[in-house]
Structures are given as structure tokens and as C-alpha cells.
Structure 1
Amino acid sequence: MRDFWKIVKPVGRYMGLEFKYGDDQRRVINAPEREAIFYGLDLWQYPCKITGNPIILAQFNFAEPPWEETIEEITPEMLVFFFALVLLGC
């Protein structure tokens, strides 16, 4: 947690690139009234119960070259579910 501030620190310009949009988004997300939403407990501290079967988001065979057909398709619905799972903790 010592370096956590680096995630929310504004970038500004870096190596000739403008990061204003990302800085604006972080400023909105890190507003004091929203801080409690994002800075609650660490993810592993939320009590959870498994309520269903595991869902395979992707499978990789590291013994084979990474051709497109070796990676299962990840749908937007799967990503939304995964991020909701991570952000909500259960």
C-alpha cells in the first residue's frame, strides 16, 4: 500500500503524450464522496460464499504458440461479469 498513491497521481504530459483524459477520469473516481466505494476493504477481506459453478473466461496452452484459435473468445458479457465480481467482491 506504500506506493498506492502512484495509481491516482495525475500524469499530465509524459514523453510528449497528453494524459489529461485519464487524469480527469481519476479525479472523478477519486472524489471524496466516492472514496468509500473504492477504498473499502482489500478484496480478500470481503466475506463471500460460492453460489454457482466456476466460469472459464479464457484458456491458454503455453506449450503451443499463441494463435488466435488457441484462445477462447471472451464476450463483453463475460468481462462485465468478471469486473462486477472483482469490484463487488462476490
Structure 2
Amino acid sequence: MTPTAAEVLDAAKALPRAERAEVAQELLSTLGTADVSDEARLTALRAAVDAGIASLDAGKGIRIPVGGLRGYLRERGRLATERADAKTA
């Protein structure tokens, strides 16, 4: 890490929690794929939602234990990130 980056990181760490979260979100948003338009992302999201609804309508849903939704979604997010990274690598 360059001295400037280290200084920026130290300054960010000194911010209140809410501001650190905001900085983190802004930085993470810059790591996305810039070559994909928001419209294309929305189209892909709608297609995924439609496929999910069709799957539920076909009786292919899954049961998630009470209190297990957060862990399930976290794992789904991790898998989605891995797949996206593999496609862009």
C-alpha cells in the first residue's frame, strides 16, 4: 500500500461508524463492472426474479429455518460474487 493510500485508510478508520460505512459502500461501488449498463443489470435482475417465481410456482421452493434467512442470503451472496469474479477473470 502506498503511503498516500495508508494515510487515507487511517483517516477513514478515524471516522464515525456510519461515515465509515458510507465510504466503504462508495469504494465498493467503484469495483463493479463498469462495462455493464444499469439497464442491462436491471434486465438480468428481472429475469432472475421471474425464474425464481416460476420455480416457486412449480413447487421447487426451499424451506429456510426460522432465523436462518440472514445466513442463507449471505451464502447466496458469496456464491454470486464468486461466480461474477470467475466470469470477469
- TM-score under structure 2 normalisation? 0.27
Tell me: higher relative CO, structure 1 or 2? Use CA pairs within 8 A at least 6 residues apart: 1
Would you tell me which structure has more helix in proportion to its own residues? 2
Would you tell me which structure has more strand in proportion to its own residues? 1
- TM-score under structure 1 normalisation? 0.27
